[in-house]
Amino acid sequence: MHNPFKAGAGIHGWGAYVPVYRIRASEIARAWGWPDHQWKALGIEEKAVAAPDEDSTTMGVEASLNAIARAGVDPSRISAVFFGSESKPYAVKPSATIIAEAVGATPATMASDLEFACRAASEGLRNAMALVSSGAMEYALVVGSDTAQASPGDVLEFTASSGAVAFVVGPPKGAAALVEAAYTYVTDTPDFWRRAERPYPSHGEGFTGEPAYFHHIESAVRGLFEATGLKPSDFDYAVFHQPNGKFPLKVALRLGFKPEQVKPGLLTPIIGNTYNASALIGLARILDAAKPGSRILVAPFGSGSGSDAYAVTVTDVVEERRLRAPRVDDYVSRKIYIDYGTYVKFRSKVRVREGL
Amino acid sequence: MAGESVNVDQWRTRIYRYRLLGGRCRECGRAFYPPLPKCPYCSSEDVEEVRLPRQGKLVSYTILYSVEEGARRESPVIVGLVDLGVARVVSEIVDAEPGTLKSGMAVEAVFRRLYEEGDEGVIVYGVKFRPAPENTS
Ligand SMILES: [Zn+2]
C-alpha cells in the first residue's frame, strides 16, 4: 500500500476534555421562542459550555495531560507543541507555549498556534507526523481546543460548544495506533469566517453544505481511497467533522459507509460541535473502545476550506493505554445543567461593567 | 513591539502555579505551597521544590457572594482548604454546585484562569480544584 510517511508515525497517547456544564437545545429554543421545526433538524440534544474561568488553553492543558499520561512519555521528550483553535484567548501570544509550560515540555521544543477554522489541529497532526516520520524528533504534542462563539439567537448557538482533544505523536514502535496514510484537500472557499476583532463568525449564504463540507470531505476521502486502494468496507469506524448531528451521517452515506461505522465517533448530538476537537474527539472516543487491529477513517474539516482523510490502525497496546486517563465518556457523563441566563453569564454575552 | 507596558510580575511564579509544585523542607520534612525560600514551619533554608499530589480532600470551604473585581461572571466563588496529604493548599473550588460540597470529599487539580490584568493585560493561569469524579458516579 502507498505510504507517504518514510519511517511512519503513530499515536502514543490520546486525551480529551469536555467541560462539565451543559445547556439543552430546548432551553436555547425557549429563550429565543423558536418552534421545534426550526432546530430539531440539527440533531442536537445538548451542548457543553465552558465555565467562566475556562478557555481553549485551559481545556487544551487538561486534554494534553491526559494524552501524555496515556503515552507514558516524559514530557521533556516532546519536541513540538501544535495548538489548533479558532478561539484563542490572546490574538497575539501563543497558547502553545502556555500548554507546553504547563505540561513540562519547555524549553527545548517547537511551539506554535495554527489557524484553519476547525481543521487547524488536523494540520498540526499532519505536521507532527511529518516531523516524527522524518526523524526530526521523537514525540510531538497536537492539541485541538475551542470555546466556539455564536452570535446570540443565531442557529449556530445550538451547536457551537466547548471541548478539547490532544494526541502524542511518536514513532511506530510502541504506538497505540498507526497512521497508515493521509490525504489533504484544500481550496479557497468562503463558507464561514470571522473577521479580525469581530466577536462572532459569519457564514456564506448557501455555502456551508455542498461546496464546503461535503465537497472537501468527499474529495479528501476519495483521494485517500485512490492513493491507498482502501474502500469503505476496509474500515471498522469512520469519523467525520461534526458541525451538527446530520452532516456526518449524510457524508458517510454518500461515501459508501454505513451508519454503524459512524455512530461510535459521533459526539455532536450530546456535546455540540467542539470545532477543532470535533472529529478528533470522535477518534479519541473510538480509541477508548476499539479492539486491536481495527481500522479507522478520520476526516476533519475546516472552513475556508479543507479536509484531511487519515487511515488509522489500532495496535495491541491500545488496551493498557486507555486505562491511564479518563475516557471521553467519563467527561460526557459528568454534567451540570445550566439555564440560558447562566450560559449568557458564563460566556460573556453580557458586558459586565466592573470597578468604576 | 510597542504597546502599553503592563505589570507581568506573576510570570516568576508561573511554573509552580501551572504544575502544582510546592516546597519541601529537608530539615523538618514538611511540604508547603507555594514554594518559599524558607520553611514556614522551622525557618530552615534547606528547601527543595517538589511536585504535589493532584488529588486531595476538601477540608472546609467558604462561599463568596461578593467577589473581587473582574470575577463577577464567576460569582459565587467557592474557596476551599484542600488537604493533599503532604501539604494543605487554599484554592478556588470549581465545577461544583455549592449545595453538593461536603467536607472530606475527594477533589482533584485542574488548570484554569486565575484572573486577568484588566482587558489589556495578561491572563494569569494556575491550578484550582474540582470535585473528583468518584463523588458523582
Ligand atoms: Zn522545616
pLDDT in tens, A322-351: 999 999 999 999 999 999 999 999 987 555
pLDDT in tens, A111-149: 999 999 999 999 999 999 999 999 999 999 999 999 998
Alpha carbon distance B59, B90 (integer Å):
10
Residue A324: predicted pLDDT = 97
Residue A103 vs residues A67, A234, A305, B2: alpha-carbon distances, Å: 10, 37, 32, 31
Domain assignment present for A352: no
Residue A356: predicted pLDDT = 41
Any catalytic annotation for residue A157?
Answer: no
Mean pLDDT of A76-81: 98
Question: Any alpha helices (H) in chain A, and if so which ranges?
Answer: 25-32, 56-71, 95-103, 120-133, 215-228, 247-255, 259-262, 268-271, 278-287, 318-322, 328-333, 340-346
What band does B129 get if pLDDT is binned at 50, 70 and 90? very high
Higher pLDDT, B12 or B126: B126
State how far residue A336 is from chain B, nearest Cα, in angstroms: 8
Alpha carbon distance A112, A101 (integer Å):
13
Residue A170 domain boundaries: 5-346
Which of B73, B92, B110 comes nearest A352 by C-beta?
B73
Domain assignment present for A351: no
Chain B residues inside the 8 Å CB shell of A102: 18-19, 111, 125
How many angstroms is it from B19 CA to the middle of ligand 1?
22
Domain assignment present for A223: yes
Q: What is the CATH number of the domain that holds A299?
A: 3.40.47.10
Whether pLDDT at A355 is above 50: no
How many angstroms is it from B43 CA to the middle of ligand 1?
6
Round the average pLDDT of chain A to a whole number and report it. 94
| B113/A54 touch (CB, cutoff 8 Å), yes or no | yes
- Total structural domains in chain A? 1
pLDDT in tens, B48-106: 999 999 999 999 999 999 888 778 888 899 999 999 999 999 999 999 987 899 999 99
| B73/A326 touch (CB, cutoff 8 Å), yes or no | no
> Helices A95-103 & A56-71, crossing angle to 10 degrees?
40
Domain assignment present for A161: yes
Domain assignment present for A232: yes
pLDDT in tens, A29-67: 999 999 999 899 899 999 999 999 999 999 999 999 999
How far does CA A251 lie from the centroid of its chain? 17
How far does CA A259 lie from the centroid of its chain? 20
Q: Is A31 left (phi over 0), alpha (psi -120 to 50) or beta?
A: alpha
How many angstroms is it from B29 CA to the middle of ligand 1?
6
Residue A149: predicted pLDDT = 85
Domain assignment present for A320: yes
Cβ atoms A84, A122 nearer than 8 A: yes
3-state secondary structure of A208: coil
Domain assignment present for A102: yes
Residue matched to cell numbers 465517533: A265
Residue matched to cell numbers 501551572: B18
Cβ atoms A220, A183 nearer than 8 A: yes
Domain assignment present for A163: yes
ipTM of the prediction: 0.94
Residue A279 vs residues A32, A70, A203, A298: alpha-carbon distances, Å: 29, 20, 20, 7
Which of A20, A52, A57 comes nearest B73 by C-beta?
A52
Taking the model in full, what pTM does it have?
A: 0.95
Residue A19 vs residues A124, A309, A334, B15: alpha-carbon distances, Å: 23, 28, 9, 24
